[in-house]
Copies of this chain bind each other. A is one copy, B any other.
Amino acid sequence: MELLQDLNWRYAVKKYKSDKVDEEKVDQILNAINLTASSCGLQPYRLFVITNEGLKLKLKAESFNGQIAESSHLLVFAAYNKITTQNVQDLVSLTSQVKNVSIESLNGLFVSIDSFFKSRTDEQNRHWAEKQTYIALGTALIAAANLRVDATPMEGFDPELFDNLLGLEKKGLHSTVILSLGYRDEANDYLANTEKARIPLEEMVHKIN
């Protein structure tokens, strides 16, 4: 399976060359992200794709992850702060259009999803939205590797700074995880030629027959 080769090829690049990634390839990665499986179909996150050098430098700030500023593209995955009735209405409206059925016929769907999120705290729903975001991160990593675009998923950044500089709070979003895209500088990246360390499959998986 080519996917196994892609997953073996990728690693979290520490040092990038200055080469830029073609917008066409970036758009393929973004399209893949938008097709990611999403519970209830809610897609409770938005993506910010940053090539502006000044902004990337400001976002890097004190982070130990130089890739924030030094990569070709920086993707910021920003999850919803809460799940609102409006979010569920938007989903129902989209579903009605795409599937060519009336909004009224989707009322059962609306009530079940809306009441589910209302039965939980905003904190629980925020946590849920973050987990959904990580499915999209998984897709992005595979899409990039498939196109032989290097990538570094990062949690080591200042989320408050990101939220401020990107104006996320007033959009009802918060920065959750980030991903740089670019091309590995093989000669200067100490991680470029080391073996991938993974536990044996027998340790990861327990089969119950």
Chain A interface (Cβ within 8 Å of chain B)?
1-4, 7-8, 10, 12, 27-28, 30-37, 39, 41, 43, 46-52, 55, 91, 94-95, 98-99, 127, 130-139, 141-143, 146-147, 153, 155, 166, 177, 194-199, 201, 204-209
Complex-state Cα separation, A194 to B99, whole angstroms: 6
In the A-B complex, the 6 residue pairs with the closest CB atoms: A138-B138, A7-B35, A134-B134, A98-B197, A135-B138, A131-B134
If over half of A's interface residues share one DSSP class (helix, strand or loop), that class is named, otherwise mixed; here it is: helix
CB < 8 Å neighbour of A4 from B32, B94, B127: B32
CA of A32 to CA of B201, assembled, Å? 10
A30 with B138: CB separation less than 8 A: no
Copies of this chain per assembly: 2
Which of B48, B135, B146, B205 contacts A137 (CB under 8 A)?
Answer: B135
Check if B143 sits within 8 Å of A43, measured CB to CB: no
**Chain B nearest Cβ from A43, distance in angstroms:** 6
Contacts of A35 in B (CB 8 A): 4, 7-8, 196, 198
What is the minimal beta-carbon distance from A52 to any residue of chain B, in angstroms?
Answer: 5
> Contact: B4 with A31, CB < 8 Å?
yes
Residues A3 and B43 in contact, CB atoms below 8 Å apart: no
Q: Please judge, given known A-B contacts A34-B201, A201-B31, whether A208 and B48 are in contact too, CB under 8 Å.
A: yes
B32-A143 in contact (CB<8A)? no
Q: What are 24 A-B contacts with C-beta separation under 8 Å? A: A2-B2, A7-B36, A7-B139, A34-B198, A34-B204, A37-B153, A39-B153, A39-B155, A41-B197, A41-B198, A43-B198, A49-B205, A50-B208, A52-B209, A91-B197, A95-B197, A98-B195, A99-B194, A99-B195, A127-B127, A131-B131, A134-B134, A138-B139, A138-B141
